[in-house]
A and B are shown apart, each in its own frame.
Chain A
Amino acid sequence: MTETIRLGGPKLDPRRTVTGMIALSLAFAFLVLALSGCAIFDQKATASDKYADAERAFQIALDTTKAAVVSKKITDVESLTLIKAALIEANAMLIDMRQNLARGDTPNADYFLARVEAALVAWQNAYNKGLTSGPRNH
Protein backbone atom coordinates (compact mmCIF):
# COMPACT_ATOMS: atom_id res chain seq x y z
CA MET A 1 0.00 0.00 0.00
CA THR A 2 1.30 3.40 -1.05
CA GLU A 3 0.88 6.43 1.10
CA THR A 4 1.37 9.98 -0.08
CA ILE A 5 3.29 12.10 2.36
CA ARG A 6 2.81 15.86 2.16
CA LEU A 7 5.62 17.87 3.62
CA GLY A 8 3.70 21.13 3.70
CA GLY A 9 1.36 23.42 1.88
CA PRO A 10 -2.37 23.18 1.42
CA LYS A 11 -4.07 20.09 0.12
CA LEU A 12 -5.02 20.44 -3.54
CA ASP A 13 -8.71 20.41 -4.25
CA PRO A 14 -9.15 19.04 -7.83
CA ARG A 15 -12.15 21.29 -8.49
CA ARG A 16 -10.22 24.35 -7.35
CA THR A 17 -7.23 23.40 -9.51
CA VAL A 18 -9.37 23.11 -12.66
CA THR A 19 -11.09 26.43 -11.92
CA GLY A 20 -7.72 28.02 -11.32
CA MET A 21 -6.36 26.74 -14.63
CA ILE A 22 -9.41 28.01 -16.51
CA ALA A 23 -9.07 31.40 -14.81
CA LEU A 24 -5.35 31.49 -15.62
CA SER A 25 -6.05 30.63 -19.26
CA LEU A 26 -8.71 33.33 -19.47
CA ALA A 27 -6.39 35.87 -17.89
CA PHE A 28 -3.64 34.93 -20.32
CA ALA A 29 -6.02 35.22 -23.29
CA PHE A 30 -7.10 38.62 -21.98
CA LEU A 31 -3.46 39.69 -21.71
CA VAL A 32 -2.73 38.59 -25.29
CA LEU A 33 -5.83 40.47 -26.50
CA ALA A 34 -4.76 43.61 -24.66
CA LEU A 35 -1.25 43.44 -26.11
CA SER A 36 -2.51 42.84 -29.65
CA GLY A 37 -4.99 45.69 -29.21
CA CYS A 38 -2.12 48.01 -28.33
CA ALA A 39 -0.13 46.78 -31.35
CA ILE A 40 -3.05 47.42 -33.73
CA PHE A 41 -3.61 50.83 -32.17
CA ASP A 42 0.08 51.72 -32.63
CA GLN A 43 -0.04 50.59 -36.25
CA LYS A 44 -3.10 52.76 -36.89
CA ALA A 45 -1.47 55.75 -35.21
CA THR A 46 1.67 55.31 -37.29
CA ALA A 47 -0.29 55.00 -40.55
CA SER A 48 -2.40 58.09 -39.85
CA ASP A 49 0.73 60.04 -38.85
CA LYS A 50 2.34 59.09 -42.16
CA TYR A 51 -0.73 60.21 -44.06
CA ALA A 52 -0.89 63.50 -42.12
CA ASP A 53 2.82 64.14 -42.79
CA ALA A 54 2.28 63.47 -46.50
CA GLU A 55 -0.65 65.92 -46.57
CA ARG A 56 1.44 68.59 -44.81
CA ALA A 57 4.33 68.08 -47.24
CA PHE A 58 1.88 68.42 -50.12
CA GLN A 59 0.48 71.64 -48.65
CA ILE A 60 4.02 73.04 -48.33
CA ALA A 61 4.58 72.19 -52.02
CA LEU A 62 1.33 73.97 -52.92
CA ASP A 63 2.14 77.09 -50.87
CA THR A 64 5.68 77.22 -52.28
CA THR A 65 4.41 76.85 -55.84
CA LYS A 66 1.71 79.47 -55.49
CA ALA A 67 4.15 81.97 -53.97
CA ALA A 68 6.67 81.39 -56.78
CA VAL A 69 4.02 81.66 -59.50
CA VAL A 70 2.32 84.76 -58.09
CA SER A 71 5.68 86.52 -57.58
CA LYS A 72 6.64 85.54 -61.17
CA LYS A 73 9.72 83.61 -60.05
CA ILE A 74 8.55 80.82 -62.36
CA THR A 75 7.20 81.84 -65.75
CA ASP A 76 8.51 79.06 -67.97
CA VAL A 77 5.45 77.38 -69.50
CA GLU A 78 7.04 73.93 -69.73
CA SER A 79 8.02 74.01 -66.05
CA LEU A 80 4.60 75.33 -65.04
CA THR A 81 2.93 72.48 -66.93
CA LEU A 82 5.21 69.91 -65.31
CA ILE A 83 4.59 71.41 -61.86
CA LYS A 84 0.83 71.30 -62.42
CA ALA A 85 0.95 67.67 -63.56
CA ALA A 86 3.11 66.66 -60.56
CA LEU A 87 0.77 68.38 -58.11
CA ILE A 88 -2.30 66.72 -59.63
CA GLU A 89 -0.50 63.37 -59.46
CA ALA A 90 0.48 63.91 -55.80
CA ASN A 91 -3.12 64.83 -55.01
CA ALA A 92 -4.40 61.62 -56.62
CA MET A 93 -1.86 59.58 -54.63
CA LEU A 94 -2.96 61.29 -51.42
CA ILE A 95 -6.62 60.49 -52.16
CA ASP A 96 -5.60 56.84 -52.59
CA MET A 97 -3.66 56.94 -49.32
CA ARG A 98 -6.61 58.47 -47.45
CA GLN A 99 -9.01 55.85 -48.86
CA ASN A 100 -6.59 53.09 -47.89
CA LEU A 101 -6.40 54.45 -44.35
CA ALA A 102 -10.20 54.68 -44.17
CA ARG A 103 -10.38 51.00 -45.18
CA GLY A 104 -8.12 50.24 -42.23
CA ASP A 105 -5.43 48.72 -44.42
CA THR A 106 -2.66 50.19 -42.28
CA PRO A 107 0.19 47.78 -43.21
CA ASN A 108 0.13 49.20 -46.75
CA ALA A 109 0.72 52.79 -45.57
CA ASP A 110 4.38 52.71 -46.66
CA TYR A 111 3.46 51.73 -50.21
CA PHE A 112 1.01 54.64 -50.54
CA LEU A 113 3.45 57.02 -48.85
CA ALA A 114 6.14 56.04 -51.38
CA ARG A 115 3.77 56.93 -54.24
CA VAL A 116 3.09 60.36 -52.75
CA GLU A 117 6.82 60.91 -52.21
CA ALA A 118 7.56 59.98 -55.83
CA ALA A 119 5.02 62.55 -57.04
CA LEU A 120 6.51 65.19 -54.72
CA VAL A 121 10.02 64.44 -56.01
CA ALA A 122 8.69 65.01 -59.56
CA TRP A 123 7.17 68.28 -58.32
CA GLN A 124 10.49 69.36 -56.76
CA ASN A 125 12.41 68.62 -59.96
CA ALA A 126 9.90 70.61 -62.02
CA TYR A 127 9.93 73.44 -59.47
CA ASN A 128 13.75 73.66 -59.48
CA LYS A 129 13.74 73.57 -63.26
CA GLY A 130 11.22 76.41 -63.27
CA LEU A 131 13.38 78.52 -60.97
CA THR A 132 16.45 78.11 -63.17
CA SER A 133 14.59 78.52 -66.46
CA GLY A 134 14.04 82.01 -67.74
CA PRO A 135 10.77 83.20 -69.16
CA ARG A 136 11.59 81.66 -72.53
CA ASN A 137 8.01 81.54 -73.70
CA HIS A 138 7.41 85.27 -73.41
Chain B
Amino acid sequence: MDPVTINTAFALAIQVIGMVRQQQGGALTDAQLDSLRATSEAKLKDTIEAIDQAIQEANQ
Protein backbone atom coordinates (compact mmCIF):
# COMPACT_ATOMS: atom_id res chain seq x y z
CA MET B 1 0.00 0.00 0.00
CA ASP B 2 1.20 3.49 -0.80
CA PRO B 3 2.74 5.20 2.29
CA VAL B 4 0.95 8.43 1.42
CA THR B 5 -2.40 6.65 1.48
CA ILE B 6 -1.56 4.99 4.80
CA ASN B 7 -0.49 8.31 6.33
CA THR B 8 -3.58 10.14 5.09
CA ALA B 9 -5.87 7.37 6.30
CA PHE B 10 -4.19 7.47 9.71
CA ALA B 11 -4.59 11.27 9.95
CA LEU B 12 -8.24 11.00 8.92
CA ALA B 13 -8.82 8.29 11.54
CA ILE B 14 -7.39 10.55 14.24
CA GLN B 15 -9.66 13.39 13.13
CA VAL B 16 -12.69 11.12 13.23
CA ILE B 17 -11.76 9.94 16.74
CA GLY B 18 -11.45 13.58 17.81
CA MET B 19 -14.88 14.41 16.38
CA VAL B 20 -16.48 11.39 18.05
CA ARG B 21 -14.93 12.32 21.40
CA GLN B 22 -16.26 15.85 21.02
CA GLN B 23 -19.75 14.49 20.31
CA GLN B 24 -19.55 12.17 23.33
CA GLY B 25 -18.82 15.01 25.70
CA GLY B 26 -15.17 15.95 25.90
CA ALA B 27 -15.09 19.65 26.65
CA LEU B 28 -18.17 21.01 28.40
CA THR B 29 -20.10 23.46 26.30
CA ASP B 30 -20.22 27.16 27.13
CA ALA B 31 -23.95 26.80 27.86
CA GLN B 32 -23.23 24.06 30.44
CA LEU B 33 -20.52 26.18 32.08
CA ASP B 34 -22.80 29.25 32.11
CA SER B 35 -25.54 27.18 33.71
CA LEU B 36 -23.14 26.07 36.47
CA ARG B 37 -22.16 29.71 37.03
CA ALA B 38 -25.79 30.85 37.20
CA THR B 39 -26.60 28.13 39.76
CA SER B 40 -23.63 29.19 41.88
CA GLU B 41 -24.70 32.85 41.75
CA ALA B 42 -28.25 31.95 42.85
CA LYS B 43 -27.00 29.72 45.68
CA LEU B 44 -24.53 32.41 46.78
CA LYS B 45 -27.31 35.00 46.95
CA ASP B 46 -29.47 32.67 49.12
CA THR B 47 -26.57 31.77 51.41
CA ILE B 48 -25.44 35.37 51.89
CA GLU B 49 -29.02 36.35 52.76
CA ALA B 50 -29.18 33.52 55.33
CA ILE B 51 -25.83 34.59 56.82
CA ASP B 52 -26.88 38.25 57.00
CA GLN B 53 -30.10 37.28 58.71
CA ALA B 54 -28.20 35.08 61.21
CA ILE B 55 -25.78 37.93 61.96
CA GLN B 56 -28.71 40.31 62.42
CA GLU B 57 -30.42 37.88 64.84
CA ALA B 58 -27.20 37.35 66.77
CA ASN B 59 -26.69 41.08 67.16
CA GLN B 60 -30.22 41.69 68.48
Query: Which of A's residues lie within 8 Å of B, judged by CB?
Result: 20, 23-24, 27-28, 30-31, 33-35, 37-38, 41-42, 44-45, 48-49, 51-52, 55-56, 58-59, 62-63, 65-66, 69-70, 72, 74-77, 80-81, 83-84, 87-88, 91, 94-95, 98, 101-102, 135, 137-138
Contacts and interface: CB of A to CB of B under 8 A. Distances in A.
Contacts of B52: 84
28 contacts: A24-B3, A24-B4, A31-B14, A34-B11, A37-B18, A38-B17, A38-B18, A41-B18, A48-B28, A51-B33, A52-B32, A52-B33, A59-B36, A59-B43, A62-B40, A62-B46, A63-B43, A65-B47, A66-B43, A66-B50, A77-B59, A81-B55, A84-B51, A84-B52, A88-B48, A94-B37, A135-B58, A137-B59
Interface residues of B, number: 37
Given A137-B58, A138-B58, A98 B37 contact: yes
Contacts of A42: 26
B58 A80 contact: yes
B11 A31 contact: yes
Contacts of B15: 34, 37
A41 B4 contact: no
A44 B45 CA distance: 30
Contact of A35 (B3, B7, B14, B54): B14
B11 A30 contact: yes
A41 B14 contact: no
Nearest to B15: A34
A26 B3 CA distance: 12
B11 to A, nearest CB: 4
Contact of B22 (A28, A35, A41): A41
